[in-house]
Chains A and B, each alone.
Chain A
Amino acid sequence: MNNPQYRQRAIQYREELSDDYFILWIWDEALGAAGRPGQFYEIRALASLKNADNVNKIPKLFKPVSIYDNQGGRIGFMIKRVGEGTNALSKLRTGDMLELIGPAGNGFPIYRGKRILLLSGGIGYPPLWYLQKELINHNQVYWMHGGARQGDVFPCDEIWTEDGSIGKTGRVCDGVAEIIQKSEIDIVYSCGPLPMLSAASKIISDLGVEHYTSLEAYMACGIGVCHGCAVPIGTKDNWDYLRVCKEGPVFRAEEVRWELF
């Protein structure tokens, strides 16, 4: 299964996390076997054009959602309600149908015997959950996560909130340099909002540490066809627009031309 597949699958279980966050679990052994940490699916509540009474109801684009968990065919999508698409997903219940295109994208490179820092902000948390499960037995892993408030943070080693409602007060990037130096980190994996990733990238590259970051982008096709999700990747003098859905979503942070966004 090299290219993303299209499937319709029932939601096996819906898990409530908070007012804004929930997890949709599906079951598919073949898709599960094909998935890797850092990959994503384009997902949507099933919309059918087959019913002639319904011809004028045109569905919206799929939404790219990273794989939160993937074990033995049990695939989880942790979702934050932010806009129209995720709001529609939030209304789905156990037994409702989901449309999926995936698994898509490149995924994180997996190492062994390293000291690893995971760095996430807000809804950047889910892909790192799947990643840490793959890393934890063969590496030393430390996970820092930040959010605006208590409702935006999830289990990890070090929590930051901007309003100070739980954990350390401030932005998660504020603590990165100290941890990298103290724990002699070899590799950083990050996912979160663009300003956070850009700031983290500067700090981490100044310390000379390898850094892989997972980017988010508005997408239409999700399979590399439309070039709508392209981001500038390469060196300062020689870069190209690469597709988040195909060459990404994971890029070497030093190759992301943050200044061009």
Chain B
Amino acid sequence: MGAVLSDIWKKTPNASDLLKTRLGKLELKTPLTVASGTFDLENLEFFDEACLGAFVCKTITRDPKKGNPPPRLYETEAGLINSIGLQNPGLDIFINEKLPQYRERLHVPLIVSFSGSSIGEFESMLVQLESCSGISGYEINISCPNVENEGIAFGVCPDVVYDLVSRLSSQTNRELCVKLSPNVTDISQIAQAVESGGADSLALINSVWGMAIDYQSGKSQVKKGIAGYTGIGIKPIALALTYKAAQKVDIPILAMGGIYNWQDALEFIWAGASAVALGTANFVNPLAAPELIMGLGEYLLQTDQKISDIIGKVSF
């Protein structure tokens, strides 16, 4: 599928300048990344990675995580319910087995997503990752809805978020992006705590709490009951929260939640996002990423705009 991307640059020769954006310390060649856990090297069989500004890996935890019992998925009338439970092989195996593959294969910046069950655990994971080469930044996942005592416990309290982020930001010069949950009373308070703590950027939103039940049997469609809801149905929620956070912080926002195409991406950029990520869309359209960049590049070229002209310029 390499042809798909060369088509983009052929059709829009100047688009590469228009598509540049900045996410904190990172200069991104395009404003597009992928949502943690929805994309991996296997997807790069389908298209050229050059359409991505950065690559975000699946969230890792210090110890291996088995994940949640099946069934873990259900497709609703508008988006997907998932209950994966951060299944991953743990930090040591990630560093020894997965990271070398990323280093060898990827030419775009790698953002490592990780989560911990205490501030100390987050810190020790960061220290271990700091000693590894080939990492451009971190996504601090404090927002997974599918694990009880990890991540989300931190994502709901501004004081704890501030404490965590300030401890982490003092120990790295790499991009520090903090991923927020929509399942909070006021996301702008959490966003401000992240900014005050010294993070370089925000990622939002993680999955919204959701549920699906078989109307005849009364049985939950996923084993754990309450799960994470992603995809088209959460787009208006994600857009509102992006706008809300952007009103309160100056650090750049990596927005995600129901983005499927370049038109969706533009809506989030108007609302205040500096970059966007594809999540559930990767499952329903294997070429979502190159199509998004091709469409966005053509649009910017035709309208003579740059990404930076649009960020946060929503009108009412």
What residues make up the interface of A, taking CB atoms closer than 8 Å to B?
Answer: 3-6, 47, 49-50, 52, 55, 58-62, 99, 101, 217-221, 223-232, 240-241, 260-261
Residues of A within 8 A of B66 (CB): 240-241
Residues of A within 8 A of B291 (CB): 49-50
CB closest residue in chain B, given A231: B70
Residues of B within 8 A of A61 (CB): 75, 80, 283-284
Contact indicator per residue, chain B 58-77, by CB within 8 Å of chain A (1) or not (0): 10000000110111111100
Residues of B within 8 A of A221 (CB): 38, 42, 282-283
Residues of B within 8 A of A261 (CB): 70
Give the Cβ gap from A42 to chain B, nearest Cβ, in Å.
Answer: 9
Q: Is the CB of A6 within 8 A of B73?
A: no
Q: Contacts A5-B45, A61-B75, A225-B42 hold; do A217 and B84 have CB atoms under 8 A apart?
A: no
What is the number of contacts between chain A and chain B, taking CB atoms within 8 Å? 104
List 6 tightest A-B contacts by C-beta distance, closest first: A228-B73, A223-B42, A220-B283, A6-B46, A225-B40, A6-B286
Residues of B within 8 A of A59 (CB): 284-285
Give the Cβ gap from B32 to chain A, nearest Cβ, in Å.
Answer: 15
Q: Is the CB of B42 within 8 A of A226?
A: no
Q: Is the CB of A220 within 8 A of B67?
A: no
Q: Flag whether B300 is at the interface (Cβ < 8 A).
A: no
Give the Cβ gap from A247 to chain B, nearest Cβ, in Å.
Answer: 13
Residues of A within 8 A of B67 (CB): 227, 230, 241
Residues of A within 8 A of B72 (CB): 218, 227-230
Residues of B within 8 A of A58 (CB): 78, 231-232, 260, 284
A58–B280 CA distance with the chains assembled, in angstroms: 11
Q: Is the CB of A230 within 8 A of B286?
A: no
A58–B80 CA distance with the chains assembled, in angstroms: 12
Q: Is the CB of B46 within 8 A of A225?
A: no
Q: Is the CB of B82 within 8 A of A226?
A: yes
Secondary structure of the B side of the interface? loop
Selected from B78, B80, B260, the residue in CB contact (under 8 A) with A220 is B80
Interface residue count for B (Cβ, 8 Å)? 38
Give the Cβ gap from A248 to chain B, nearest Cβ, in Å.
Answer: 12
Q: Is the CB of A60 within 8 A of B286?
A: no
CB closest residue in chain B, given A52: B263
Selected from A60, A230, A232, the residue in CB contact (under 8 A) with B284 is A60
Residues of B within 8 A of A228 (CB): 72-73, 82, 84
Interface-centre pick from B39, B69, B72 (highest chain A CB count, 10 A)? B72
A113–B280 CA distance with the chains assembled, in angstroms: 46
Give 14 pairs: A residue, B residue, CB < 8 Å, sorted on A: A5-B45, A6-B287, A49-B291, A52-B263, A59-B285, A61-B284, A224-B42, A225-B39, A225-B43, A225-B282, A227-B84, A228-B84, A230-B87, A241-B67
Q: Flag whether B165 is at the interface (Cβ < 8 A).
A: no
Residues of B within 8 A of A226 (CB): 37-38, 73, 82, 84, 283
Give the Cβ gap from B7 to chain A, nearest Cβ, in Å.
Answer: 12
Residues of B within 8 A of A229 (CB): 70, 72-73
Secondary structure of the A side of the interface? loop
A4–B84 CA distance with the chains assembled, in angstroms: 22
Residues of A within 8 A of B45 (CB): 3-6, 223
Selected from B75, B80, B288, the residue in CB contact (under 8 A) with A49 is B288
Cβ < 8 Å to A, chain B residues 49-99: 58, 66-67, 69-75, 78, 80, 82, 84, 87
Residues of A within 8 A of B37 (CB): 225-227
Q: Is the CB of A55 within 8 A of B261?
A: yes
Residues of B within 8 A of A217 (CB): 70-71
Give the Cβ gap from B159 to chain A, nearest Cβ, in Å.
Answer: 33
Give the Cβ gap from A219 to chain B, nearest Cβ, in Å.
Answer: 7
Residues of A within 8 A of B70 (CB): 217, 229-232, 241, 261
Residues of B within 8 A of A50 (CB): 291
Interface-centre pick from A4, A6, A62 (highest chain B CB count, 10 A)? A6
Interface-centre pick from B75, B82, B284, B287 (highest chain A CB count, 10 A)? B284
Give the Cβ gap from A101 to chain B, nearest Cβ, in Å.
Answer: 6
Q: Other than A225-B39, A260-B69, give 12 A-B pairs with Cβ distance below 8 A.
A: A49-B261, A52-B263, A55-B263, A61-B283, A101-B286, A217-B70, A219-B73, A220-B280, A225-B42, A225-B282, A226-B73, A232-B69
CB closest residue in chain B, given A99: B286
Q: Contacts A55-B261, A224-B40 hold; do A49 and B285 have CB atoms under 8 A apart?
A: yes
Give the Cβ gap from B256 to chain A, nearest Cβ, in Å.
Answer: 15
Residues of A within 8 A of B40 (CB): 223-225
Q: Contacts A49-B261, A226-B283 hold; do A60 and B42 have CB atoms under 8 A apart?
A: no
Give the Cβ gap from B48 to chain A, nearest Cβ, in Å.
Answer: 13
Give the Cβ gap from B147 to chain A, nearest Cβ, in Å.
Answer: 13
A50–B288 CA distance with the chains assembled, in angstroms: 10
Q: Flag whether B213 is at the interface (Cβ < 8 A).
A: no
Q: Flag whether B1 is at the interface (Cβ < 8 A).
A: yes
Give the Cβ gap from A107 to chain B, nearest Cβ, in Å.
Answer: 17
